[in-house]
Amino acid sequence: MDTIKESGANIEEPASALLIQPVPSGAFALAGAAVALLLVAWLVMYFFTFLPRGPVG
């Protein structure tokens, strides 16, 4: 069997494929939710704080 030797660990090819296979979808969802929340907060500030005050000068 083919083995991969990294950092002193012997991992067989099918086992290493199973380790790499899961995608961190929870991390992507959390990052996307954080970006969406920041965007919504910025839009609220823009429309309800900056625009009503009018142009500078």
- Residue 38 within any structural domain of the chain: yes
Condensed to tens digits (0 to 9), the pLDDT of residues 6-56 reads 555 666 677 667 777 677 788 899 999 999 999 999 999 999 999 999 988
- Residue 9 within any structural domain of the chain: no
Q: What does the pLDDT read at residue 16?
A: 67
- Residue 19 within any structural domain of the chain: no
- Residue 4 within any structural domain of the chain: no
DSSP 47: I
Q: What does the pLDDT read at residue 4?
A: 53
- Residue 20 within any structural domain of the chain: no
- Residue 53 within any structural domain of the chain: yes
As a whole number of angstroms, the distance between CA 27 and CA 35 comes to 12
- Residue 35 within any structural domain of the chain: yes
Three-state DSSP class for 19? helix
As a whole number of angstroms, the distance between CA 43 and CA 45 comes to 5
Q: How many structural domains is the chain composed of?
A: 1
String of b and e for 7-42 (b: at least 16 CB within 10 Å)?
eeeebeeeeeeeeeeeeeeeeeeeeeeeeeeeeeee
DSSP 13: H
Q: Decide if pLDDT at 1 tops 80.
A: no
The pTM of the full predicted model, rounded to 2 decimals, is 0.56
